[in-house]
Amino acid sequence: MDRLELINQGFGVGAVEADELNGLTLAYIGDAVYELCVRLYMSTHGSRQVNRLHKHVTAAVNAAAQSELYHLIEPMLTPEEMLIFKRGRNSKTVTAAKNQKITDYRRATGVEALVGWLYLKDRTARIMELLSYGLPRLQENQADPEETMS
């Protein structure tokens, strides 16, 4: 039994139909999955103190970084994945982006929706394919948070 089935069974619910969820619900799930993936990636790529690790994770888990990630992985997306990204990006949000450009915020919502959809479709290998390509490149393009936050 895979992790998603174990979670569903533990909560006594059936499989979630990812195709029926709206973009913001997919993004809500994807936000958690994305942050977990980033935390795992950062913790396995260089030994850091937890405080420094948190700064590196925070630098990758924000609208501007996720927008940049989208540009890195966009050529890899299938037509179906692009539709899911657009469903998230084009969702009407109630809250405004804090200290972020609205375009970055919307792209970030699209990336999170895509990650949430892939997770609920049990396509974790595809999430890892996209993120293992994008995260190292994203990190190369970003300033070191240790230097900018000191």
Q: Which residues are catalytic?
A: 31
- Are 68 and 100 contacting, i.e. CB atoms less than 8 angstroms apart? no
Can you tell me the distance from the alpha carbon of 37 to that of 57, in angstroms, rounded to the nearest whole number? Answer: 10
Can you tell me the distance from the alpha carbon of 85 to that of 65, in angstroms, rounded to the nearest whole number? Answer: 16
Give the 3-state secondary structure of residue 66: helix
Contacts of 131 (CB under 8 A, 6+ apart): 34, 37, 38, 41
Can you tell me which residue has the tokens 């539709």?
A: 83
